[in-house]
Chains A and B, each alone.
Chain A
Amino acid sequence: MLSIKNLKASVDDKEILKGLDLEVKAGEVHAIMGPNGSGKSTLASVLAGKDNYEVTGGQVTFDGKDLMDMSPEDRARAGLFLAFQYPVEIPGVSNINFLKTAMNEVRAYNNLPPIEAKEFLRMMKEKQKLVEFDSALANRSLNEGFSGGEKKRNEIFQLAMLEPKLSILDETDSGLDIDALRIVSRGVNKLRSGKNAFILITHYQRLLEYIVPDYVHVLYNGQIVKSGTKELALELEEKGYDWLKESAPAASFH
């Protein structure tokens, strides 16, 4: 589904990703861990197409298409979803209006007619339940005045509504209390299927107790320096990242 080859990217002429490789197939859940500044969020932003990141090398294909050639909205329409670390607030734009607009854009891209009002409402109801997203929140302006946990739940609610092929969860767990984390994880687990895939970007092994990944990768200094199964996450939790120093090619520690 997603194939990243030797991806290099920089911000303000500073290289952050230094040749990253990753293969994600349908039905898989990948976790990407790493210390601060290793390039985790950069990876998420580059995949989603944020414009202050400059891709300087490598290749990314998504369902066979060159992802880097696509506009952010086309990436989304093609089925790539980023759950933001810091979802923005947009005063005056109602959650519902926003979601309906987004859904119909995605459907139009896939040559589907606009969703019927009745069907949309039914779906809303169903998916709200999934992430225990209060319908009062759904009626408010997009993320405006939401607590951190509410914003994250809204991200997963949108994920459920838009049914993307590949979801990237950027530090969705950070700042969540254990109850919110359970709710969010349960939502994600219910959405897992053989047709979709997830990339979990996280700092903490804790999330992986709730969403069990098929693969765990360690991102360090812009490259994936080690890959394994969920046991690797436990090892990281126990030992920290320092023991991986040696495996980091051309790594320089400050």
Chain B
Amino acid sequence: MSTDLDILKDVSTEEYKYGFTTDIEMEIAPVGLNEDIVRYISQKKNEPEWMLEYRLKALRHFLKLEMPTWQNFELPPIDFQAISYYAAPKKQVKLNSLDEVDPELLATFEKLGIPLSEQKLLSGVAVDAVFDSVSVATTFKEKLKEVGVIFCSFSDAVREHPELVQKYLGSVVPYTDNIFSALNAAVVSDGSFVYIPKGVRCPMELSTYFRINAQNTGQFERTLIIADEGSYVSYLEGCTAPMRDENQLHAAVVELIAMENAEIKYSTVQNWYPGDKDGKGGIYNFVTKRGICKGDNSKISWTQVETGSSITWKYPSVILKGDNSTGEFYSVALTKNKQIADTGTKMYHIGKNTRSRIISKGISAGEGQNSYRGLVQIGNSAENARNFTQCDSLLIGDQCGAHTFPYIESKNNSSMIEHEATTSKIGEDQIFYLNQRGIDTEKAVALIVNGYAKEVLNQLPMEFAVEAQKLLAISLEGSVG
């Protein structure tokens, strides 16, 4: 009979499913980061002058900054001059129809489970597919146009909707926010742009799929979502990368703006290459995500399932400016082998009667380290603000770690804040009970973990909840049997 310990030691050889590379002719910028490179990217993207100016300002700021030191994990030094900041498939024409997309790319996304050809499209889901530094296809664009929804690549938006982009770009995450937001603003590759007009309930799920393929590059996408008064949108992003021995940097910025009575639901299923079992390779996922509930009664909800990346470092946040606005953060972060996740949220309560809810479920296996870091800040104007936070950590094996760093700051005495956190081991009794019903330990752990994460998984759009469950189970395979 195998004991728990044996099972834990028995590290499976299950490999990262999406680790293949696409062999396609690429145009890659020379390595290094300087004004010429920034001009090169801007020119490649055929950008107006103001965008180039924005990039250059950000670059100059970036060059003055140093890497942060407050994190509780060891951050290997990153040589920003050794990365190429632009990589795009060569055959890049302005695409009017999906038929013009390079078949190699279509095949790549097909393999990733993201069919882009019209007949195979997921019903009810529009997809923007981003390959290294460029968007290769956006589906259902026309259909969305009928109701006034703009869903396009960020690069297209800069050219086609400059008034909107100029107004909102950097309004929630200024390039001065942190070193990675400065870097991102300087070298923005691509990303998605969404505008939902007043009173429109977006008729389908919007989704962007990010794929890093090229070697020695990073991905620096920018996503900007504006939900005008009384509108609703649900947006989902997914991501994968090939298995490579060196670390690759992903430094994205996401900005959400919800006007009066608007609601934005933003879901992430993050499955970047996590590195191998010895911690070699993998993506550094350093992302700044922030939304602002600008208008009264607005709502922003972040849901994330984080299973990939060698280091994940991000805090999707909400500025609750409008009265009665609501911010939510639901997170499942799973680390195994030598993965590190330092994630959480910041809720800034400014408006009256603002509400926030934080549910964070960390799962650490192998030698994985998982930290919840969060801030709940109640300003003195935030009458009757309310927060509830629950963050739980589950430990699988005795080599991993779970850490909780909440910051609670209140300057208004009518506020009510409740924070709870627990850390415990996966129940041996529970595993045995399931074993006794014929379920092997690996499946038992997957079942228990899915149950544990259910409150978060339930927040995902239905089409993706099942995928996320499977992803959790697959991600656990390497660590429990």
Task: Provide the residues of chain B in CB contact with A98, threshold 8 Å.
Answer: 434, 437, 447
Task: Please determine whether B454 and A71 come into contact, CB atoms closer than 8 angstroms.
Answer: no
Task: Please determine whether B451 and A90 come into contact, CB atoms closer than 8 angstroms.
Answer: yes
Task: Provide the residues of chain B in CB contact with A17, threshold 8 Å.
Answer: none
Would you call B452 an interface residue if the criterion is a C-beta within 8 Å of the partner chain's C-beta atoms? Answer: yes
- Shortest distance from the beta carbon of A150 to any chain B beta carbon, whole Å: 16
Task: Provide the residues of chain A in CB contact with B2, threshold 8 Å.
Answer: 71
Task: Please determine whether A71 and B451 come into contact, CB atoms closer than 8 angstroms.
Answer: no
Which listed residue, B4, B430, B440, touches A73 by the CB 8 Å rule? Answer: B440
- Shortest distance from the beta carbon of A170 to any chain B beta carbon, whole Å: 11
Task: Provide the residues of chain B in CB contact with A82, threshold 8 Å.
Answer: 436
Task: Please determine whether B451 and A72 come into contact, CB atoms closer than 8 angstroms.
Answer: no
Which residue of chain A has the shortest Cβ distance to B5 in the bound complex? Answer: A51
Task: Provide the residues of chain B in CB contact with A94, threshold 8 Å.
Answer: 451
Which listed residue, A71, A93, A106, touches B450 by the CB 8 Å rule? Answer: A93
A-B contact count (CB 8 A): 84
- Shortest distance from the beta carbon of A25 to any chain B beta carbon, whole Å: 23
Task: Please determine whether A77 and B430 come into contact, CB atoms closer than 8 angstroms.
Answer: no
Would you call B22 an interface residue if the criterion is a C-beta within 8 Å of the partner chain's C-beta atoms? Answer: no
Interface positions of A from 147 to 167, Cβ below 8 Å from B = 158, 162
Q: In the complex, A62 Cα to B104 Cα: how many Å?
A: 56
Would you call A102 an interface residue if the criterion is a C-beta within 8 Å of the partner chain's C-beta atoms? Answer: yes
Task: Please determine whether A93 and B448 come into contact, CB atoms closer than 8 angstroms.
Answer: yes
Task: Please determine whether B435 and A76 come into contact, CB atoms closer than 8 angstroms.
Answer: yes
Quick one: CB contact mask for B429-441 with A, threshold 8 Å, 1 for yes?
1101111111111
- Shortest distance from the beta carbon of B57 to any chain A beta carbon, whole Å: 48
Task: Please determine whether A162 and B438 come into contact, CB atoms closer than 8 angstroms.
Answer: yes
Which residue of chain B has the shortest Cβ distance to A144 in the bound complex? Answer: B451
Task: Provide the residues of chain A in CB contact with B450, threshold 8 Å.
Answer: 92-93
Task: Please determine whether B452 and A101 come into contact, CB atoms closer than 8 angstroms.
Answer: no
Q: How many residues of B contact A (CB 8 A)?
A: 27
Interface positions of A from 38 to 65, Cβ below 8 Å from B = 48-51
Known contacts A88-B427, A88-B429, A92-B453; A71 and B435 CB within 8 A of each other: yes
Would you call B443 an interface residue if the criterion is a C-beta within 8 Å of the partner chain's C-beta atoms? Answer: yes
Which listed residue, A91, A102, A141, touches B437 by the CB 8 Å rule? Answer: A102
> Chain B interface mostly helix, strand, loop or mixed?
helix
Q: In the complex, A81 Cα to B433 Cα: how many Å?
A: 11
Which residue of chain B has the shortest Cβ distance to A89 in the bound complex? Answer: B430
Task: Please determine whether B432 and A90 come into contact, CB atoms closer than 8 angstroms.
Answer: no
Quick one: CB contact mask for A94-134 with B, threshold 8 Å, 1 for yes?
10011001100110010000000000000000000000000
Which residue of chain B has the shortest Cβ distance to A99 in the bound complex? Answer: B437
Task: Please determine whether B1 and A49 come into contact, CB atoms closer than 8 angstroms.
Answer: yes
Would you call A215 an interface residue if the criterion is a C-beta within 8 Å of the partner chain's C-beta atoms? Answer: no
Task: Please determine whether A93 and B3 come into contact, CB atoms closer than 8 angstroms.
Answer: no
Would you call B455 an interface residue if the criterion is a C-beta within 8 Å of the partner chain's C-beta atoms? Answer: yes
- Shortest distance from the beta carbon of A111 to any chain B beta carbon, whole Å: 14
Task: Provide the residues of chain A in CB contact with B448, threshold 8 Å.
Answer: 90, 93
Task: Please determine whether A51 and B4 come into contact, CB atoms closer than 8 angstroms.
Answer: yes
Interface positions of B from 430 to 481, Cβ below 8 Å from A = 430, 432-441, 443, 447-448, 450-455
Interface positions of B from 177 to 196, Cβ below 8 Å from A = none
Task: Please determine whether B451 and A102 come into contact, CB atoms closer than 8 angstroms.
Answer: no
In this complex, the member of A73, A84, A87 whose beta carbon has the largest number of chain B beta carbons within 10 angstroms is A73
Task: Provide the residues of chain B in CB contact with A102, threshold 8 Å.
Answer: 434, 437-439
- What's the interface size class on A, roughly? 20 to 34
- Shortest distance from the beta carbon of B313 to any chain A beta carbon, whole Å: 28
Q: In the complex, A87 Cα to B433 Cα: how many Å?
A: 8
Task: Please determine whether A90 and B433 come into contact, CB atoms closer than 8 angstroms.
Answer: yes
Q: In the complex, A101 Cα to B443 Cα: how many Å?
A: 9
Task: Please determine whether A101 and B1 come into contact, CB atoms closer than 8 angstroms.
Answer: no
Which listed residue, B429, B439, B441, B454, touches A101 by the CB 8 Å rule? Answer: B439
Q: In the complex, A87 Cα to B437 Cα: how many Å?
A: 12
Interface positions of B from 181 to 240, Cβ below 8 Å from A = none
Task: Please determine whether B438 and A73 come into contact, CB atoms closer than 8 angstroms.
Answer: yes
Q: In the complex, A8 Cα to B2 Cα: how many Å?
A: 20
Which listed residue, B428, B430, B435, B455, touches A49 by the CB 8 Å rule? Answer: B435
- Shortest distance from the beta carbon of A75 to any chain B beta carbon, whole Å: 8
Task: Please determine whether B436 and A51 come into contact, CB atoms closer than 8 angstroms.
Answer: no
Task: Provide the residues of chain B in CB contact with A97, threshold 8 Å.
Answer: 447
Task: Please determine whether A76 and B432 come into contact, CB atoms closer than 8 angstroms.
Answer: no
- Shortest distance from the beta carbon of B431 to any chain A beta carbon, whole Å: 9
Which listed residue, A50, A92, A101, A162, touches B455 by the CB 8 Å rule? Answer: A92
Task: Provide the residues of chain A in CB contact with B443, threshold 8 Å.
Answer: 101, 105
Interface positions of B from 42 to 58, Cβ below 8 Å from A = none
- Shortest distance from the beta carbon of A60 to any chain B beta carbon, whole Å: 13
Task: Please determine whether B447 and A72 come into contact, CB atoms closer than 8 angstroms.
Answer: no
Task: Please determine whether A72 and B1 come into contact, CB atoms closer than 8 angstroms.
Answer: yes
Task: Provide the residues of chain B in CB contact with A72, threshold 8 Å.
Answer: 1, 432, 435-436
Q: In the complex, A49 Cα to B428 Cα: how many Å?
A: 13
Q: In the complex, A75 Cα to B432 Cα: how many Å?
A: 12
Which residue of chain B has the shortest Cβ distance to A78 in the bound complex? Answer: B438
Interface positions of B from 404 to 446, Cβ below 8 Å from A = 427-430, 432-441, 443
Task: Provide the residues of chain A in CB contact with B453, threshold 8 Å.
Answer: 92
Which residue of chain A has the shortest Cβ distance to B429 in the bound complex? Answer: A88
Quick one: CB contact mask for B100-129 with A, threshold 8 Å, 1 for yes?
000000000000000000000000000000
Since A87-B433, A92-B454 are in contact, a sample of 16 more A-B pairs with Cβ atoms closer than 8 Å, ordered by chain A residue number, is: A48-B436, A49-B436, A51-B1, A51-B428, A68-B1, A71-B2, A72-B435, A73-B439, A76-B436, A76-B437, A77-B438, A92-B450, A92-B452, A106-B438, A142-B451, A162-B437
| A-B contacts, 26 listed (Cβ < 8 Å) | A51-B432, A68-B1, A71-B1, A71-B440, A72-B1, A73-B438, A76-B435, A76-B437, A84-B436, A88-B433, A90-B427, A90-B433, A90-B447, A90-B448, A91-B451, A91-B452, A92-B453, A92-B455, A98-B434, A98-B447, A101-B443, A101-B447, A105-B440, A105-B443, A162-B437, A162-B438
Interface residues of B, Cβ cutoff 8 Å to A: 1-4, 427-430, 432-441, 443, 447-448, 450-455
Closest 7 CB pairs of A and B: A92-B451, A93-B451, A72-B435, A76-B438, A102-B437, A92-B454, A105-B438
